Amino acid sequence: METIMEYILEQTRNILAIDSPTGYTEEAAEYLMNTYRLLGYEPVKTVKGGVLVNLGGEKEKDGILLEAHMDTLGAMVCEIKGNGRLKVSPLGGLNPNNTEGENCRIITRSDGVYEGTFQLENASVHVNDDYSTARRSFSTMEVVPDEKVSSKEETEKLGIMAGDIVAFEPRTVITEKGYIKSRFLDDKLSVGILLGFAKYMKEEKITPKRNIYHHITVYEEVGHGACGTVPEGVTEILSVDMGCVGEGLNCTEQQVSICVKDSVGPYSYPVVSGLIKAAKEHDIDFAPDVYPHYGSDADAALSAGYDCRHGLIGPGVYASHGYERSHVDGVKATLELLKAYLL
């Protein structure tokens, strides 16, 4: 198990290092395609840009689809200002309060990548009398390119234009105490867990009774990641995403979350009951929770009209959509629950 855990953490680091804001996921998808091939699988890239993998099973009927997403929060250039700096529009639920002062990359379509910082306008405390009280919003903040530009024309000469992607630095750290800190653990940590699960199945030469698929989706952060690509014979969809940690909730970073209801509605009673039963029987540290501001890939698939049961699990993650934190114990608990429930 230690080697599988090490593999999960290694892959999580690797995936976090690849910029993949919603709408810009091709490089991450290629990395995952190659990684699944190295494990001995035959992944397929969907037309939408996701990665679909058949992990095998004794029967194709009553299959289960495990879904995690590789797309992250980010931004898009929407205006080059007169001073050469950039106004941006969020991709997904990016919150400007959580990204102030963060290093970022401006990814142009044909002129390379430029470094920059996302700042409040007039960001010097020694100059701006209103610095402390100024509202942080996308109308009051800007990307400052690390280039000698002071006009719109000079920035345009670099090849920067509206529609360019802005990717934020993840700042990934794994501490000696087992804490995993990074932007975009939602949901690249669970992508790493699914890769570890796939590696475990291959190394142990396990053929499950039910056919198991992985779908690493794109566009989850804007709500339609899993609105397609459900293989024939699948009757259950299990989203493997982050578990929320915060006031009024039960889950900690050391546990696996079993979501019973989110903002869309309750998850399938038989699925949730089966997950809880598996966790109890195998002494897995879990927490059931209701998430008031959450929607998952499993929700999206059902909203698209697929006739499936659905569930949601994931390692506890604190400070969601900010600089997030989880723990290796929560990762291990999530992996163990997948094994107990599926194998």
Percent helix, strand and coil across the chain, each rounded to 5? 25, 30, 40
Question: Exposed, middle or buried by CB within 10 Å (0-12, 13-18, 19+), for 190?
Answer: buried
Q: Which two tokens stand for residue 234?
A: 């699948």
- Give the chain's length: 343
In sequence order, the 6+-apart residues with CB closer than 8 A to the CB of 342 are 64, 208, 210, 212
Active-site option among 142, 220, 324, 336:
220
- Give the SS3 label for residue 214: strand
The beta strands (E) that lie in the chain are given as: 44-45, 51-56, 59-69, 74-80, 86-91, 102-107, 113-120, 141-145, 165-168, 173-174, 179-182, 210-217, 234-240, 243-245, 256-261, 286-290, 309-318, 324-327
DSSP-derived secondary structure for 119-131: EESS--TTT-TTT
Phi, psi for residue 4 in degrees, rounded to 5: -65, -45
Contact 273, 288 (CB under 8 A): no
Our answer to whether residue 220 is catalytic in this structure is: yes
Distance of alpha carbon 298 from alpha carbon 318, whole angstroms? 22
Contact 75, 94 (CB under 8 A): yes
Phi, psi for residue 150 in degrees, rounded to 5: -140, 10
Q: Which two tokens stand for residue 335?
A: 């992996």
In 3D space, the residue among 262, 323, 308 whose CA is nearest the CA of residue 66 turns out to be 308
Most distant CA atoms of the chain, gap in Å: 68
Which residues are known catalytic residues?
220
